[in-house]
């Protein structure tokens, strides 16, 4: 994928070995997008999570021209066992996922790239990626981790129209982004609202409201449709706002990350 304005190529898989060697010498930051292939109700494609994370990563890389930023091939599969009760989900065991991301980071670092950024679009991967960055630090591999929803929590509060619980799995946020990025794969005639109620007041099923206690869920038990949220108020216009905000905030971080001493 070539940047139409600069002629730069930012995708790792499109570059030749000498180009990658030059990028490493120029202190390029490498972004690795993680997500999942997971059911997202009856109305969204199963690549929803990785599609959003990869798109934000690529747009971020293309927005920076003062130093090189590369985007590695996306990691399509994640830890999504809680969605396995619904057709379409392909889940990795947690240790398999961690080993996969570790091997990718170790390989990138071995070629001289000193800073790696994991950009995640799937909730089930989050805690695993956070723990992995700590482990890699002991190997002197400098890896940062950003979650797509965490980056734009303020925008979610400003733009979101659904009731609390509406911005969760296959809800307002994810549906809006897919309506913007790949509307041909969305069937809004099948979108259903299904708000989940947390078992305690200390937990949240909404990206706008940080929970104080984490409690794992199994989507099949409380959900008929595989949705946990409100996709009925989604729109492509909101999706563009969410994606633009994600790119803006991630770009800000990458520029600051570039200045951090390893």
Q: Mind listing the pLDDT tens digit for each residue in 19-65? A: 999 999 999 999 999 999 999 999 999 999 999 999 999 999 999 99
Q: Is 160 inside a domain boundary?
A: yes
Residues 230, 166 contacting (CB under 8 angstroms) = yes
Q: Is 38 inside a domain boundary?
A: yes
Domain that holds residue 169: 12-259
Is pLDDT of 135 > 80? yes
Residue 71's Cβ-count burial label (10 Å; 0-12, 13-18, 19+) is: buried
Mean pLDDT across 181-202? 94
Q: Is 3 inside a domain boundary?
A: no
Q: Is 234 inside a domain boundary?
A: yes
Sequence-distant (6+) residues with CB within 8 A of 55 are 181, 243
Summarised one tens digit per residue, pLDDT across range 79-128 is: 999 889 899 999 999 999 999 999 999 999 999 999 999 999 999 999 99
Q: Is 158 inside a domain boundary?
A: yes
Q: Is 6 inside a domain boundary?
A: no
Q: Is 221 inside a domain boundary?
A: yes
Q: How many domains does the chain have?
A: 1
The two counts, helices (H) then strands (E), for the chain are 8, 4
Mean pLDDT across 208-214? 89
> pTM of the prediction?
0.94
SS (H, E, C) 43-101: CECCCHHHHHHHHHHHHHHHHCCCCCEEECCCECCECCHHHCCCCCCEECCHHHHHHHH
Q: What is the pLDDT, as a whole number, of residue 56?
A: 98
Pairing of strands 142-147, 115-120: parallel
CATH number at residue 97: 3.40.50.10310
Q: What is the pLDDT, as a whole number, of residue 4?
A: 40
């Amino acid at each position: 994928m070539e940047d139409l304005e600069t002629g730069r190529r930012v995708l790792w898989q499109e570059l030749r070995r000498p180009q990658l060697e030059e990028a490493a010498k120029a202190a390029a930051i490498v972004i690795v997008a993680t997500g999942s292939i997971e059911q997202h109700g009856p109305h969204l494609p199963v690549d929803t999570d990785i599609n959003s994370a990869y798109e934000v990563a690529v747009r971020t890389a293309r927005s920076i021209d003062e130093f090189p930023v590369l985007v590695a091939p996306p990691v399509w599969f994640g830890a999504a066992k809680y969605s396995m009760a619904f057709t379409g989900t392909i889940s990795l065991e947690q240790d398999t996922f961690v080993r996969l991301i570790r091997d990718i980071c170790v390989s990138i670092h071995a070629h001289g790239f000193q800073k790696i950024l994991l950009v995640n679009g799937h909730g089930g991967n989050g805690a695993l990626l956070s723990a992995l960055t700590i482990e890699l630090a002991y190997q002197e591999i400098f890896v940062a981790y950003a979650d797509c929803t965490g980056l734009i929590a303020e925008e979610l509060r400003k733009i979101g129209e659904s009731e609390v619980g509406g911005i969760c799995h296959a809800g307002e946020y994810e549906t809006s982004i897919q309506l913007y990025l790949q509307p041909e794969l969305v069937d809004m005639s099948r979108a259903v609202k299904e708000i989940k109620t947390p078992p305690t007041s200390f937990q949240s099923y909404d990206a706008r409201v940080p929970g104080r206690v984490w409690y794992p869920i199994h989507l099949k038990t409380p959900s008929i449709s595989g949705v946990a949220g409100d996709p009925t108020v989604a729109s492509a216009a909101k999706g563009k706002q969410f994606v633009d905000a994600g790119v803006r905030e991630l770009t800000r971080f990458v520029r600051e990350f570039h200045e951090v001493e390893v």
